[in-house]
């Protein structure tokens, strides 16, 4: 297999494109985690924020953090692992918000000093414009949560 060397200037541009793309994804994931936390779904919020945390920990940027922030990230990782592996202790909404807000703050400061983490929101009605056999399948987390609540209410009444 032959490896291709990319000129420094091209690599720099590619890195900027990937960073901008990742910032959009991180922002969207953290926004969704925040919505779940607002709905009282702390465990789900921690798991989604944990996705951003895992990616960030594997990036070269994680090594430049001060020791205090690394300790905080280790605590968040431990909580995320407890949730992911079915610990009997459920996280609180407050803990979920701390992870979400803390990650957003770290990513904002680390990835783009002086800027906030933005993402491009989906176009209004884009999910409804889907054609074909999946056109009736709700695609947003809001629809999913609503459907699950309705199912739980039916089980409680039954």
Give me the pLDDT at residue 77, please.
Answer: 93
Measured in whole angstroms, how far is the alpha carbon of residue 69 from the centre of its chain?
18
- Domain chopping of the chain, boundaries: 11-121, 122-158
Q: To the nearest whole number, what is the mean pLDDT of the chain?
A: 75
pLDDT exceeds cutoff 90 at 134 = no
pLDDT tens digits along 72-129: 999 999 999 999 888 778 899 999 999 999 998 887 776 554 444 444 444 555 444 5
Within a 10 A sphere around the Cβ of 32, how many other Cβ atoms?
Answer: 19
pLDDT of res. 152 = 77
Query: What is the largest distance, in Å, between two alpha-carbon atoms of the chain?
Result: 66
pLDDT, one tens digit per residue, over 34-87 is 999 999 999 999 999 998 888 878 877 777 778 888 899 999 999 999 998 887
By the 8 A CB rule, do 42 and 90 touch? yes
* Helices and strands of the chain, counted as H and E runs: 5, 0
């Amino acid at each position: 297999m032959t490896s291709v060397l990319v000129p420094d200037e091209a690599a720099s541009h590619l890195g900027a494109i990937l960073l901008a793309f990742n910032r959009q994804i991180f922002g969207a994931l953290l926004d969704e985690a925040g919505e779940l936390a607002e709905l009282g779904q702390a465990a789900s919020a921690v798991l989604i924020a944990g996705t951003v945390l895992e990616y960030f920990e594997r990036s070269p940027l994680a090594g430049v953090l001060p020791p205090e922030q690394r300790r905080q990230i280790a605590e968040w990782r431990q909580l995320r692992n407890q949730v992911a592996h079915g610990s009997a202790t459920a996280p609180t909404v407050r803990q979920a918000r701390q992870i979400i807000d803390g990650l957003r703050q770290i990513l904002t400061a680390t990835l783009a000093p002086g800027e906030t983490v933005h993402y491009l929101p989906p176009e209004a009605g884009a999910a409804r414009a889907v054609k074909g056999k999946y056109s009736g399948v709700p695609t947003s987390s809001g629809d999913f949560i609503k459907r699950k609540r309705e199912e739980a209410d039916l089980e409680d009444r039954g």
